[in-house]
Structure 1
Amino acid sequence: MRYVVLIAYEPGHYDGTDEAVRQEYFDAHHAFERYVDEHGKRLDSAALSDADLATTIRRDADGADVVTDGPFVELTEQLGGYYDVELPDLDRAIAAARLLPKAYTLEIRPVVGVEGYESA
């Protein structure tokens, strides 16, 4: 089964930590990656820039695109990265996600196909 693990964090939290805490973060990510490698497969992952560098596209009532800088809403947490993984089941995905830093809020979503749609 394919899952995306979305990582949310409190902005500025990581920047205000010392080297020992940062190493704990790295160690937790490495533990997650080792677990996934042992029980499934890592397909992709990335860290994302802070939300203040985001660009938001919304459709207005007439269907016109409105492009704005920054996030659409103010959040106490923001999306900071993701892992795209293949694991046998949700229980394994939860076990893997529990290895990531405790300061994160994690969302696990199964990846689904859309009938009739094929990527170009």
Structure 2
Amino acid sequence: MTKYMVLIYGDAQEWGAMTSAQRESHEAAHAAFRTKAGSKIVGGEELELSTTATSLRSDEAGRVTTTDGPFLETKEALGGFYLLEAADLDEVIGLASQLPEAHASHSGVEIRPVVDHG
């Protein structure tokens, strides 16, 4: 079995503008995803808004500097993730396709295999 990181991106303003009914529907879609994926989910969390992020980068002298927020040139920011363990990418695509962010015009889902240093 291989582990896959499913990264959920979206526009925080769009998420924040959801009505309570839209939020409930969104949460229900994630609950359905978690039910369908079951034990394939190794971990996952919703993240605080990107405005709470701290980025670390190296300056010209090689010193680590911190910056408030992520280094973004897009409105879409990382909003959460699931770590899945599955037989192959096709299985993960099938599961992740059920996430509401895969269907919303302001969101997206990225899937990446996790490197096994094993």
Q: Shorter-normalised TM-score: what interval?
A: 0.7 to 0.9
Within a 5 Å distance, the mapping from 1:87-98 to structure 2 comes to 87-98=86-97
Q: Residue deviations 1:14-57, cap 9 Å, x none?
A: 221112211221121112112211xx521111111111111111
Identity across the alignment (%):
38
* Equivalent of residue 111 in structure 1, options 108, 111, 114: 114
Partners of 2:42 and 2:86 in 1: CA distance: 11
State whether residues 42 and 85 of structure 1, in contact with CA within 8 Å, keep that contact through their aligned partners in structure 2: yes
Q: Mind listing any 5+ residue stretches in structure 2 that lack a counterpart?
A: none
Q: Mind listing any 5+ residue stretches in structure 1 that lack a counterpart?
A: 116-120
Using the TM superposition, give the Cα deviation of residue 74 of structure 1 relative to its aligned residue in structure 2, in angstroms: 3.7
SS of aligned partner of 1:14: helix
Instruction: Report the counterpart of residue 29 of structure 1 in structure 2.
Output: 30
Higher Cα radius of gyration:
1
Instruction: Note the aligned Cα RMSD (angstroms).
Output: 1.4
Instruction: Report the counterpart of residue 19 of structure 1 in structure 2.
Output: 20
SS of aligned partner of 1:32: helix
| Amino acid of the structure 1 residue aligned with 2:48 | S
State whether residues 11 and 78 of structure 1, in contact with CA within 8 Å, keep that contact through their aligned partners in structure 2: yes
Q: Residue deviations 1:71-102, cap 9 Å, x none?
A: 22342100000001111211110011111112
* 2:90 corresponds to 1:83: no
State whether residues 36 and 87 of structure 1, in contact with CA within 8 Å, keep that contact through their aligned partners in structure 2: no
Partners of 1:36 and 1:110 in 2: CA distance: 17
SS of aligned partner of 1:62: coil
SS of aligned partner of 2:87: coil
| Amino acid of the structure 1 residue aligned with 2:34 | E
Higher helix share: 2
State whether residues 47 and 82 of structure 1, in contact with CA within 8 Å, keep that contact through their aligned partners in structure 2: yes
Partners of 2:111 and 2:72 in 1: CA distance: 22
Instruction: Report the counterpart of residue 118 of structure 1 in structure 2.
Output: none
TM-score normalised to structure 1 length: 0.86
How many residues of Structure 1 are paired with residues of Structure 2 in the alignment? 113
TM-score normalised to structure 2 length: 0.88
Instruction: Report the counterpart of residue 69 of structure 1 in structure 2.
Output: 68
